[in-house]
Amino acid sequence: MTDEQFQAVLDVHLTAPFRILRAAAGPIREAAKSEAADGKEVFRKVVNISSTSGVYGNAGQANYSSGKGPQSSD
Total structural domains within the chain: 1
CB atoms within 10 A of CB 65: 20
Q: Amino acid identity, residue 63?
A: N
Catalytic residue among 51, 53, 66, 72: 51
Contacts of 31 (CB under 8 A, 6+ apart): 44
Cα–Cα distances in angstroms (integers) from residue 40 to residues 30, 45, 65, in the given order = 14, 16, 40
* Per-residue pLDDT in tens (0 to 9) along the chain, 74 residues: 899 999 999 999 889 999 999 999 999 999 999 999 999 998 888 888 888 877 787 788 888 888 887 877 65
Any catalytic annotation for residue 65? no
Catalytic residue list contains 72: no
Q: List the domain range (segments joined by +) for residue 22.
A: 3-72
Catalytic residue check, 53: no
CA–CA gap between residue 1 and residue 25 (Å, rounded): 34
